[in-house]
Structure 1
């Protein structure tokens, strides 16, 4: 247990540059409370004012948390969200950031991930790779992805390229910990083709066999296999099936673990998500946000092959 607390202290020191006078909020749920406790104890050991709020583990990634959680996030200097489902792309997170809270989201983190893998990466390397790909997304107009004979294309024209390094030193900064990705919000009606998922799907884990996603005018219309059926169920029949995100992994220490928090950061992978994207520059609100990861694709941004 001591090693977990020491690594949690490093997250506060290295990722947040936490000051002694700053308040810390631990947001957790019934499923990940035992892991969140290490961060709670780490904050106390560092001498900070630490508070704890816990909710049921019944929420879907992208779904808004209870209003009491949203209010508590706004009141803290630093908030760590250690929950089964992701709070990254919620209004609660966005509004807390607007109130200057620095926020790290750690959906699905395991004890193994607290010891090794993405969390051990060289921050300088992650920042350098992330800046490169975020720059390509910032200036790019179109994306083409090829994998196992299937192709999907979409527009990113006019959308921001967003770096996620897991380093939050300035007021209002937020993102995943561990991190290492560059991402953007594709134009919601622009995607057409098929995307092969052979890594993992958020909340479902590693795929047993490749899942082929069929996308027409930005909407997911079909997904192969049993995991594909489960994905469609998670997304529902409404706006949850609209393309929300395209991301590129930039963390060379990350591994495919079955937990998308780490999987989508693996260097050499890309991911597409469906559902809400309004918190990072899109126009869709869906109450859900589910990422789908593929390994070793060929990727073009405009006419440049970047992977």
Structure 2
């Protein structure tokens, strides 16, 4: 990997439109809660450089210490960034990681979180998603996400079914639910922008059944559902034509641990729309997503340079005796 560009506070990348400025300001003020004395770092790559400029330019209204670093050489999600970038993340008060491939499930991001940096990740975000989802009032998204995360934390077992054929059981006993709220006020807060999910790492070895990914899948054009058979927490069969073949190749290249059922999450953002971009698709209100691969950064035990999610439509989700979703509608 190679660092291509470093842009300091007194430089200007580009002019912003009125809407870009308003959204950038909302992110810095309402989501990241940037204060005048704080250091803000923007980490990006050539593919996301233009979008990253929105947050670089907006941040300069709130603090005199803003830096953007662009690097190249990432080829997949959960690939570790260069050590010098990790050190910059650790030294910052606020970091926005806006790259084509996700840095969310990396040790580098986790090291930043442990150092109390407030971190928002925006893997693969597009101009359209920025305009559609980053101007919303995240206090409403946060309230629902926190409520569901608390239910997950208190529960021991779950069952997920869906009209497309999904039918699995799993244990979450002793695991903590996490709310992706979009509000990064406390030191060490981290999550996605756009935000809007409650998620948890099921106990390794406990998930069994069939998962049919019929809504969206990470960086795969889903022209037909991907059907996976799960046994004792591992994917043992993948079917579904070309999309399934692509997924299997990616998992094989990452190693056996990539077949681990890593995450179950519930979308809580009413502004999010279904697309092939998982950053947004997994936040769609009333959907469930399941990920394979690494979960070491959010309470699991599996570490592998692979984390890939798929969305399930019209889900019914029950944990212990609480029905959270009934065919895609929240039940309380």
When normalised by structure 2's length, the TM-score is: 0.88
Measured in 1, the distance between the counterparts of 2:46 and 2:284 equals 28
2:185 to 140, 151, 169: 169
Query: 2-side partners of 1:281 and 1:35: how far apart?
Result: 31
Moved over 6 A (4+): none
Q: How many residues are matched?
A: 305
In structure 2, what is the equivalent of residue 149 of structure 1? 165
Give the alignment of 1:172-191 within 5 angstroms. 172-191=188-207
- Taking the aligned partners of 1:120 and 1:42, their CA distance within structure 2 comes to 14
1:112-123 equivalent positions in 2, closer than 5 A: 112-116=128-132, 118-123=133-138
Aligned to 2:292: 274
Matches within 5 A, 1:80-95: 80-95=96-111
Unaligned runs of 5+ in 2: 1-15, 326-332
Cα drift, residue 199 of structure 1? 1.6
1:212 to 215, 227, 232: 227
Larger RCO (alpha carbons 8 Å, 6+ apart): 1
2:237 to 222, 228, 235: 222
**Is the Cα–Cα contact under 8 Å of residues 149 and 178 in structure 2 kept in the other structure?**
yes
8 Å contact kept, 1:57–1:84: no
In structure 2, how many angstroms separate the alpha carbons of the residues matched to 1:33 and 1:42? 14
Alignment map for 1:1-307 (pairs within 5 Å): 1-2=16-17, 3-56=19-72, 58-116=74-132, 118-147=133-162, 148-204=164-220, 206-224=221-239, 225-236=241-252, 237-307=255-325
Which string of whole-angstrom CA distances, capped at 9 and with x for unpartnered residues, describes residues 99-158 of structure 1? 111000001111111111x32433222122112210111011112111223311111111
Q: Is the 8 A contact 1:94 1:279 kept in 2?
A: yes
Report the more deviating stretch, 170-179 or 118-127: 118-127
Segments of structure 1 that go 5 or more residues without pairing to the other structure are none
Decide whether aligned partners of structure 1 residues 18 and 247 sit closer, same or farther in structure 2, where only a CA change above 3 A counts: same
Structure 2 vs 1, CA of residues 36 and 285 (structure 1 numbering), >3 Å: closer, same or farther? same
Mapped partners of 1:300, 1:47: distance in 2: 45
8 Å contact from structure 1 (residues 120, 253) kept in 2: no
Secondary structure class of the residue paired with 1:208? coil
Give the distance between the partners of 1:153 and 1:254, measured in 2 at CA. Answer: 27
